[in-house]
Structure 1
Amino acid sequence: MAYAGYGAPNPHGGGFPGMQPQPQQQQQDPLYGYFAAVAGQDGQISPEELQQCLTQSGISGGYKPFNLDTCRLMINMLDRDMSGSMGFTEFRDLWQALNGWKSSFVSYDRDRSGTVEGNEMQQAITSMGYNMSPHAMNAIMRRYSTNGRIPFDDFVCCFVRLRALTDHFRRRDTSHNGSASFQYDDFIQVTMSM
């Protein structure tokens, strides 16, 4: 799986009074309606607005809607300017990632219980290009499962954290040998933003 970077936040937001209008192509994007319905005058979505938008869009399907912590993590994953909010470009990137995670979750939730078990979670993680040790998998299960089962919201939360932590690690693994050096302050910033 590729972990490509994302474009810079859209400085113009969404066609609100006093703002520059969005390019016609963005306004014709079917996702723009979901975005514009909750974006403030700044043309950005806060974690609370993202939660509202994702709930209204129905992307979680029959699963429980995303909690606010997961929405914060999703914004942090794409928040290159550290504003704590998301423009339309990031929203579109997030939507694409969410659809991929949802497809994966549905394929592993074979009994349609709304949860995945440990072995299914390990298969999902491996299929998305992560190579986890048994100790790392145990840590994931301790963090995200209840009675050995992981619901969709926590499944997404796990993959958001894996993706963000992997991105941070790769930026610091300059020799591409699987090892990176972190200053204490750097480490705290990375982990606290997760």
Structure 2
Amino acid sequence: MYNQYQQQQMMQQQQQMMQQQRMLQEQQRQQKLLQYFNFVDKDKSGTIEKEELALALKQGGMVFSYETCGLLVKLFDSEKKNGVNITEFYQLYNFVVNMRNSFLQVDQDKSGTIDANELAVALKYSGYNFPNNVILMLINKFGKNNQIKIDDWISLCTFLQHSRAVFMIYDNDRDGKVSLDFNAFLSISALLK
């Protein structure tokens, strides 16, 4: 009985130590992200634009085009000021890391690109179940030579996140379907641009 109590105490202590270690790692990661943010925020405005975001992500070992960074800023810029603040940057960075990890997970041959089959798997992991014709349309829109690179993947994921958010505005009963007249269609098109 006493041994069982000691084991429970040891397990609780180990869990507490592991939790403290995770918290410390998260604090260190946020401190590093704050350093990246402050390093690229040259004008000390408290926001970074797409060019500065590209540099901040590069500091973290991730290289993306200005176009992709612009899409990311648009997705995470809740105040619509063409830049992200530090809180939005944390969220954006977590999104990019998660999407990068999902890309690396499905890039079976480690070629740095994913094909249509791998794209379908990656999209399923991300909660999307598209038919083949949509997969092919997405690969043609975002990729080159029927391949998606990491930068293309981040652009595609950003587009899908933004599209889902806009769609939800019109999906009042949350059944995954909307009826649109031409005016609503134009409104959606404008929101996606």
Q: What TM bracket, shorter-length normalisation?
A: 0.7 to 0.9
Distance across 1 between alignment mates of 2:95 and 2:29: 21
1:52 corresponding residue in structure 2: 55
2:82 corresponding residue in structure 1: 84
Unaligned runs of 5+ in 1: 1-24
2:188 corresponding residue in structure 1: 187
Q: Secondary structure at the match of 2:88?
A: helix
1:125 equivalent in alignment to 2:123: yes
User: Residue 116 of structure 1 contacts residue 151 of structure 1 at CA under 8 Å; is this kept in 2?
Assistant: yes
Structure whose residues are more often helix by fraction: 2
User: Residue 51 of structure 2 contacts residue 66 of structure 2 at CA under 8 Å; is this kept in 1?
Assistant: yes
User: Residue 106 of structure 2 contacts residue 118 of structure 2 at CA under 8 Å; is this kept in 1?
Assistant: yes
Task: Output aligned runs, 1:138-149, within 5 Å.
Answer: 138-149=136-147
Provide TM-score, normalisation by structure 2.
0.78
> Larger relative contact order (C-alpha < 8 A, sep ≥ 6)?
1
Note the aligned Cα RMSD (angstroms): 2.0
User: Residue 38 of structure 2 contacts residue 44 of structure 2 at CA under 8 Å; is this kept in 1?
Assistant: no
1:41 equivalent in alignment to 2:48: no
Distance across 2 between alignment mates of 1:132 and 1:110: 20
Unaligned runs of 5+ in 2: 1-26
Q: Secondary structure at the match of 1:82?
A: coil
User: Residue 38 of structure 1 contacts residue 53 of structure 1 at CA under 8 Å; is this kept in 2?
Assistant: yes
CA deviations on 1:2-37 (whole Å, 9 max, x unpaired) are xxxxxxxxxxxxxxxxxxxxxxx8996331111111
Provide TM-score, normalisation by structure 1.
0.78
Residue 115 of structure 1: which of 88, 113, 116 is its match?
113
User: Residue 107 of structure 2 contacts residue 114 of structure 2 at CA under 8 Å; is this kept in 1?
Assistant: yes
After superposition, the Cα gap between the structure-2 partners of 1:114 and 1:26, relative to the gap in structure 1 and judged at 3 Å, is: closer
User: Residue 50 of structure 2 contacts residue 73 of structure 2 at CA under 8 Å; is this kept in 1?
Assistant: yes
Larger CA Rg, structure 1 vs 2: 2
After superposition, the Cα gap between the structure-2 partners of 1:79 and 1:180, relative to the gap in structure 1 and judged at 3 Å, is: farther
CA deviations on 1:127-151 (whole Å, 9 max, x unpaired) are 1111212221121011122222111
- One-letter amino acid of the counterpart of residue 186, structure 1: S
2:16 corresponding residue in structure 1: none
For structure 1, which segment, 133-142 or 179-188, has the greater mean C-alpha deviation from structure 2 after superposition?
179-188
User: Residue 162 of structure 2 contacts residue 192 of structure 2 at CA under 8 Å; is this kept in 1?
Assistant: no
